[in-house]
Structure 1
Amino acid sequence: MDEARILLIDSYDSFTHNLAALCCQAIPQSRIHIIKNDALSIHQLVPHLPKFDAIVVGPGPGSPAHPADIGIVRDLWKLEEHLLPIFGVCLGLQSLALEFGGKVSRLRVVKHGQISPIVHTGSDLFADVGAIEAVRYHSLHASLNDGEHLEELAWANDGEENGRVIMAIRHRSKPYWAVQYHPESVRTSGGGLEVLKNFWRLSNEWESLRARKRYKWDEEIETLVGPAWPSLSFSLQRGMNVLSKKIHVQTRIIDSPLLSSVEVAEHFGATDENARLVLLDSAAKPGRFSIIGSLMTSSRQYTHYTHENHVSITYSGTTEQIPLRELDIWSWMENHMRPYENIVGHEDVPFWGGFVGYLSYELGCQHLAPLPTRRDKSAPAPRVHPDLNLVFVERSVVLDKVTGRAYVQSILPKDDGWISDTVRSLRELDASLRCRVGSKVVSSEECPRPKPSITLPNRSHYLASIETAKAHLAAGNSYEICLTAQTRVTLAVQDVNRDRSSSWEMYKRLRKHNPAPHSAYLRLNPSTVLSSSPERFLSFSRPPNPTYQLRPIKGTLRKGPDIQRADAERHLVGSVKEVAENLMIVDLIRHDLHGVVGEQVHVSQFCGIEEYETVWQMVSVVEGQSSPCRCDEPGERNSQGWQVLRHCLPPGSMTGAPKKRSVEILRELEREPRGIYSGVLGYWDIGGGGDWAVVIRSCFKHESQSRVPNATENEDLGGTKLGHPPLEEWSIGAGGAITALSDAQAEWEEMVLKLQSVLGVFKANPSLSPPQGPTL
């Protein structure tokens, strides 16, 4: 038998690729072609339907009563001449019911990310199917007015909440079936693969009775609907230089268990506020490696704003602008990594050299909902921080907390003595630290910290935004919306020449106050980033068989003497709301990863409780693997991880699901760009590996926002009549996942509480904001 051809209609959902993977499992030798529900008209599609074996109508946000939400789907149910089997999910069921006389209404109690037992007839779609525990993502439900056209096959009993809710139906004479729950969810048990297999069996039986013949697949339909899923393509320019022979990274290894990232960073100039510095710091468990870049004046720094069509490169005191032309920034950066294809280093070290820095939230959103261009009068003002800010690191020190080793590395072609000088300096520093062991170190008294002015977001607006978000959830526009807001901090710098007043001293306070496995200090003009992020977004190992891992965190409980692991499990794993939030993001991340690597995606940990320095976290782990690189062009192999990063951004834990619609809603609610906050920071190694963390528990400064205060500000911030100390302005983002179960006041308090981990940098003992008033 030829390969089965399945057409999957995507209604802009964030679970579509999970459904595609399930179809591949259920239907042997199947090829899944995915199109958006508004990509083609029914007149364009109908002549080619005989080339398919079946159609799957996927889930999506919105209502089947709204043409913009449902697109071509409503026309599929009216097919007569080119009739073929159709299987609908969620929105697919609702549209089927509505088209044949049913009614779609709102549930009294929304079911988003919740698991329900499903009662079924045991026949048809559910033949030989046993007990079902199914994940539900819906605020709307269908009812059947009569049994003339449609028949109910399964239902859930919600008791006093919603009563009996239809979970599966079929058409009595046409080959149409649909389920309300999500068979593709990672937590659906019994009603996923089994039901899709039954659909395929029923489809074959229907086609056999009618002797339906499938037309031959041809180039015309391939052009119309695109190649089979997954269809990740590379866009590197041909003809670029690649090293013809392998070059080994120059590496020296020293044993230095007492050496910390702070001492090494200060050795490389961390206390000089005017020098660039990058530190990716595993400041707490379960972090292991810390990376400190030794930047030179010739180190190339790349910056880019999404509203511009060029990239700026700064090195040796000069900046040049390079047009992107026909390339996007992602492809352009790929080209600049390509020449390092044949450089290899010590296999135990995750980073040999390469790009280090951050990517903004807005850069990650470009493929979902691009911002208007500057020529558009409705476009927002240009953002302050670059959307891409990366420096190419050629010399580095990598510390391994597990083995106590330090790797001193250079990818420069010639050694000018830097490696031996650095090794000697680090050994001297390590010896000094050993001498201090057991001796009492008397610390100098810290200078009183300047009084900061901390302004929280507008409380009334935030509470109103929560209610608006919940209204969107009730209407079916999203399952979860991660609402955030920015807090502004104005700080008087008492003595710009004093180390303790620098951003580096602030980072050390942050590191002490809130140690985290993905801490970072980035001083890349014009932006300075201080981060104590606990959440890995995406890591990828080196080719040829890379593994991709995402670790979303949803659910946090602060540690205390009376809170042990069992308490954390009871509070977090036992919470319907917390588990539902985590589940939604896990299913979203699976979709993102399936979209670029294909079927090989699995959840190795679901809602596991992990112990961190100051909190218990509920963490899930999603992993994927791509096939060994089939690229015939040098340089493309090392770009696989970069492509996965591109297509998985922005972090689903910071948007909600479905991602596209949630991003659009958040843009209306938040009214200002997020910038660096809820983007990612990390590295892309020349060997093809990478590790990127979600930018949370962080604060940011832009050089242009430093200024001289006016008289009132000077007095408020502790200045004197004779002196006007310069002001630094910092921003901090914080927020929370809004679900149908959210309480607005509790969400506000949670948002403010999250700020405390960073506000400690500016104020010794920050307290919760009073219920009224925006100023802390």
Structure 2
Amino acid sequence: MADQQPHILLVDSYCSFAYNLAALCKKAIPHSVLHVIKNDTHTIRDLLPAIRQFSAIVVGPGPGSPDIPTDIGVVRDLWKVADENLVPTFGVCLGQQSLGIEYGATIHRLHTVKHGQVSVVQHTGTEFFAGLPDLKVVRYHSLHIKPHAGGDIEELAWSEDEENGRVVMGVRHITKPFWAVQYHPESVLTDEGGLKVLENFWTLAHAWNQTNRPSFTPPVEIILPQSHIWPRISQRYSAHEFNKSLGSVTYKTIQVPDISIIDLCEYLGVNDESKRFVFLDSAAYPGQHSILACLGDASSQFTHYVHENFVEITTGTLKVQQELSGKDIWTWLDEYRESRKVAGGDARVPFWGGFAGYLTYEAGFGALDIPVPRKSNHRENNHPDVNLVWVDRSIVVDTATSKIWVQSLLPEDEQWIRETAVHIAELPRASTIPNMPSADQVTVKFPDHDQYIEDIKRSKEYLFSGDSYELCLTGQTRICVPKEAVMPAWERYKLLRTVNAAPHAGYLRLHPTAFLSCSPERFLSYSRTPGAVCQLRPIKGTVRKLPHITREVAEEMLAGSRKEIAENLMIVDLIRHDLHNAVGERVSTKKFCGVEEYETLWQLVSVIEGSLSEGTSIEVDDSLGWEVLRRSLPPGSMTGAPKKRSVELLQGIEGRERGPYSGVFGYWCAGGGGDWSVTIRSCFLHDSEKGDGEEWTIGAGGAITALSDPDAEWEETKVKLNGVLRGFGASC
């Protein structure tokens, strides 16, 4: 049998770790061609004509139970093909469970579920465990199998759990070329039980093929409808001509010691509530660059609702609706930026101009193929899912050095730059912070306590049943401000900034939305071309700074917590999957669960980076960050894992849209870079909620795991709410 270009079929059961497994397969089986299908896109009759062209099959993990047909799909039939159609197959997690029950094993719930837990696995040292010591592996499961004594399934590996007893961790079929593991070889914390086990499987598969399929030669190409070859770089970039005629950035740099960013905003007209305003505020360490959009009537604003086929463009008083013409909103915006791309700005400045604004939680549903049902009057009280403005003029302030860049993308705009720089240099200190309102001036409508506790218990039942590993449950709090206590949104933001300064904060007034955020969490940043690098920095685990909370104490509370590490691990593995989906193989975890110091907090932070392979065309590289953003929303830290099933479950549990909360806000530079923060510790006001008074919305929640205590989760939610409520003089 020829050794070149083996074709491998990966069956994805809607797992948020599938592309991590794809990357591991490519590493274990060099030069292979990896085909990916979903478990419900093909019947076994569809697959049979192509199945014997594959050198091996890998059945990935996924949510649910192997005895539920809609959860397992075609996988159950793969184990039952006739002998002439046999192909060596390796199952992971749900794959092992499915193999087991098809050949007489029984399925059971663990007494204590293992989601994001590291365990020691012992094994027989045979088959794909040959030559390996005991392993440390990551487990994501609440179900497990018990093979029938003397049956067709032989146990090869096991874990001795204190809570669960002996749990089968690896098996083989005694006569057919089927092998499987219960744990996740693709996890970032799995050791030799990952790559080496896949390499051993390939050795076994290769040997089986030589003995049982002596005339088999891997084909040059396999045509399999409704599949794709991984890695898959988006094809949509070829839909528009790459812009080789770049515009230029004109700028002037000045140094203004102790510049007041608040005075600068007010000089630019933030107090005029009728005008749009965008301020991305690095109000605290480790934030560094604050960005102010200098918007005018000619600045175009783009709004879009995910279930509509058009984008609305507002320029001054003129509003037009432009059909997407078969494109998605992401492609349309990509082409718009491409036509206005620039070069020549100061490389030290992350933003030269371009798109700035926010994307809602629901804006990410398209990539997950999840519908957003809405009524015909949705525009009356729903925030747009995409709300961006194109920024031609901007001011960027380095908060660490007080260096300021006055910039323009407009041709022959030097006079505005010079005059603005002079005014900034001479700017008097004039801003004041309003008095903090008293708590009796507002009414706070919290989520119902008893219902939230029930929702937590309901979420945990989904964890026990295998439908999810983690669910980020949230609730909405409404702040009713009577007419006599209403203050301009900008004044409210100044209060919020005073009591809860944050590194990734923002004030956005993009009608119909007023958006105030003190977010501590960056979601995604990406550098300019060539060689764009995408970085995600998930935060799971926070301790507020107090006199007795030293770094050592914080590390013990965070890095020493099994629950906090498990939460962070699940999101790291999910983010790695999202990045592998967009960039291919070049994904690395630069930091895992490091304790970082912020102005008011200690936080447990991981850092994951991805980039395209060397030699990738500049056209693809230039839009990489935007594509990673599209494929990574909603943020995994705000959904749980697996993402698609978790989002669907949360829709049913929460019973409402989240809107801007749990989405992202930030910018995509006309020169190629971008930076987006997770929309948490934020509040929102829709124009429809203004009348005699105002009604602001705050979202808050937490990751529900099998280790969660409902009362503790409720208290954690209140702590998160307090950071924003203090800006209204309230607390909980």
TM range, smaller chain: over 0.9
Q: Residues 417-432 of structure 1: matches in 2 within 5 Å?
A: 417-429=415-427, 432=428
Alignment of 1:683-762 (within 5 A): 683-708=667-692, 727-762=693-728
1:95 is aligned to 98
- The answer to whether the 8 Å contact 1:236/1:334 transfers is no
Distance apart, 1:323 and its partner CA: 1.2
Equivalent residue number for residue 546 of structure 1: 532
Q: 1:550 to 1:648 in 2, by over 3 A?
A: same
Matched, 1:646 2:644: no
Aligned residue among 483, 486, 505 for 2:473: 483
- Structure 1 partner of 2:435: 446
8 A Cα contact 1:602 1:624, kept in partner: yes
User: 2:251 aligns to what SS in structure 1?
Assistant: strand
How far is the alpha carbon of 1:200 from its aligned partner?
0.6
Give the Cα separation in 2 of the matches to 1:363 and 1:686. Answer: 21
| Superposition deviation, residue 403 in structure 1 | 3.2
Paired position in structure 2 for 1:217? 219
Report Cα offsets for 1:31-67 as digits up to 9, x if no partner. 2111000111111111111221100000000000001
| Offset of residue 588 of structure 1 | 0.4
Output the amino acid matched with 2:702: G
Paired residues, what number? 728
The aligned counterpart of 1:141 is 144
Partners of 1:566 and 1:323 in 2: how far apart? 56
Q: Displacement of 1:374 after TM fit? A: 5.1
CA contact (8 A) 1:341 1:638 kept: no
Identity percentage over the alignment? 51
| One-letter code aligned to 2:549 | I
Aligned 1:524-535 pairs, distance under 5 A: 524-535=510-521
Residue of structure 2 in register with 1:656 after alignment:
640
Instruction: Give the letter aligned to residue 460 of structure 1.
Output: D
Q: Which runs of 5+ in 1 are unaligned?
A: 709-726, 769-776
Q: 1:326 to 1:383 in 2, by over 3 A?
A: farther
Shift of 1:652: 0.2
Distance 1:459 1:674 in 2: 19
Which residue of the partner structure matches residue 82 of structure 1? 85
User: Deviations 1:583-615 (Å, cap 9, x if unpaired)?
Assistant: 001000000000010111111111110111111
1:548 and 1:372 mapped to 2: Cα distance? 28
1:657 aligned partner, one-letter code: A
Cα 1:224/1:451, change in 2 over 3 Å: closer
Aligned match of 2:175 in 158, 173, 176? 173
The residue matched to 1:81 in structure 2 has which SS? helix
Partner of 1:574: 560
Letter in 2 for 1:520: G
2:321 is matched with which residue?
Answer: 321
2: CA distance between counterparts of 1:317 and 1:544?
A: 39
1:456 aligns with 2:446: yes
How far 1:19 sits from its partner (Å)? 0.3
Residues in 2 aligned to 1:109 and 1:408: alpha-carbon distance in whole angstroms: 58
Q: How does 1:498-537 map to 2 (within 5 A)?
A: 501-537=487-523
**2:543 aligns with one of 557, 560, 563:** 557
The change in CA–CA distance for 1:624 and 1:447 in structure 2 (over 3 A counts) is: closer
- Structure-2 residue corresponding to 1:711: none
1:411 aligns with 409
1:124-166 C-alpha deviation (Å, 9 max, x unpaired)? 111111231111000001101123312111100012x110000
Q: Is the 8 A contact 1:133 1:191 kept in 2?
A: yes
Partner Cα distance (1:169, 1:42) in 2: 24
- Name the SS for the 2:145 alignment partner: strand
**Equivalent position of 2:113 in the other structure:** 110
**CA–CA distance in 2 between the matches of 1:153 and 1:517?**
50
Amino acid at match of 2:85: H
Per-residue CA deviation, residues 169-219 of structure 1 (Å, 9 max, x unaligned), is 011111111000101000111211111110011111111222444455366
Q: Identify if the C-alpha distance between structure 1 residues 373 and 454 changes in structure 2 by more than 3 Å, giving closer, same or farther.
A: closer
Per the alignment, residue 345 of structure 1 pairs with 345
Cα deviation 1:657-694 (Å, max 9, x = unaligned) = 00000000000001110000000000000111100000
Deviation, structure 1 residue 369:
4.1
Distance 2:449 2:101 in 1: 41
Shift of 1:380: 8.3
Alignment of 1:279-294 (within 5 A): 279-294=279-294
2:496 and 2:727 in contact (8 A); partners too: yes
Counterpart amino acid of residue 408 in structure 2: S
Instruction: Find the aligned partners of 1:568 and 1:96 in 2 and give their Cα distance.
Output: 44
For residue 172 of structure 1, what is the amino acid of its counterpart?
I
User: What is the match of residue 59 of structure 1?
Assistant: 61
Residue 165 of structure 1 aligns to a residue in which SS?
Answer: strand
Change (3 A) 1:387 1:533: same
**Are the aligned partners of 2:514 and 2:684 in contact in 1 as well (CA < 8 Å)?**
yes
Please say if residues 353 and 394 of structure 1, whose CA atoms lie closer than 8 Å, have aligned partners that are also in contact: yes
Alignment of 1:248-327 (within 5 A): 248-327=248-327
CA distance in structure 2 between the partners assigned to 1:225 and 1:676 by the alignment:
33
The one of 212, 226, 229 equivalent to 1:227 is 229
Which is worse superposed, 415-424 or 559-568? Answer: 415-424
User: What is the distance in 1 between the residues matched to 2:292 and 2:378?
Assistant: 36
**Is the contact between residue 109 and residue 143 of structure 2 (CA under 8 Å) also seen in structure 1?**
yes
Task: Report the RMSD for the aligned CA atoms in angstroms.
Answer: 2.0
Aligned to 1:400: 398
1:537 positional shift: 0.6
Name the aligned partner's letter for residue 683 of structure 2: C
Which amino acid in 2 is paired with 1:401?
T
Change (3 A) 1:623 1:220: closer
Q: Choose 487-496 or 197-206, whichever is displaced more.
A: 487-496
Contact 2:433 2:491 in 1 (8 A): no
Q: Is the 8 A contact 2:541 2:603 kept in 1?
A: yes
Aligned counterparts of 1:312 and 1:578: Cα–Cα separation in 2: 42
Indicate if the aligned counterparts of 1:107 and 1:141 stay in contact, CA closer than 8 A: yes
Distance 1:213 1:605 in 2: 47
In 1, Cα distance between equivalents of 2:251 and 2:169: 61
Question: Is the contact made by 2:381 and 2:688 (CA closer than 8 Å) also made in structure 1?
Answer: no
Measure, in 2, the Cα distance between the counterparts of 1:761 and 1:416: 40
- Deviation of residue 342 (structure 1)? 4.5
Distance 1:369 1:221 in 2: 24
Structure 1 residue 704: deviation in Å?
Answer: 1.5
**Contact 2:530–2:618 (CA<8 Å) still a contact in 1?**
no
Q: 1:584 to 1:447 in 2, by over 3 A?
A: closer
Maintained 8 Å contact 1:369/1:664: no
After the TM superposition, which residues 117-128 of structure 1 pair with which residues of structure 2 at under 5 Å, given as runs?
A: 117-128=120-131
Shift of 1:317: 1.4
3-state SS, counterpart of residue 33 of structure 1: strand
Secondary structure class of the residue paired with 1:338? helix
User: Counterpart of 1:343 in structure 2: which amino acid?
Assistant: A
1:698 Cα shift?
A: 0.2
TM-score by length of 2: 0.96
Further displaced range: 336-345 or 264-273: 336-345
Q: What is the distance in 2 between the residues matched to 1:197 and 1:383? A: 55
- AA aligned to 1:446 is N
Deviation at 1:345, TM superposition (A): 1.1
Structure 1 residues 141 and 744, CA gap change in structure 2 (3 angstroms): same
Deviations 1:434-460 (A, max 9, x none): xx9xxxx9x788375570111101122
Q: Distance in 2 between matches of 1:97 and 1:183?
A: 18
1:720 corresponds to which residue? none
Give the direction of change, closer, same or farther, for the CA distance of 1:381–1:310 in structure 2 (3 Å limit).
Answer: closer
Whether the 8 Å contact between 1:585 and 1:652 is mirrored in structure 2 is yes
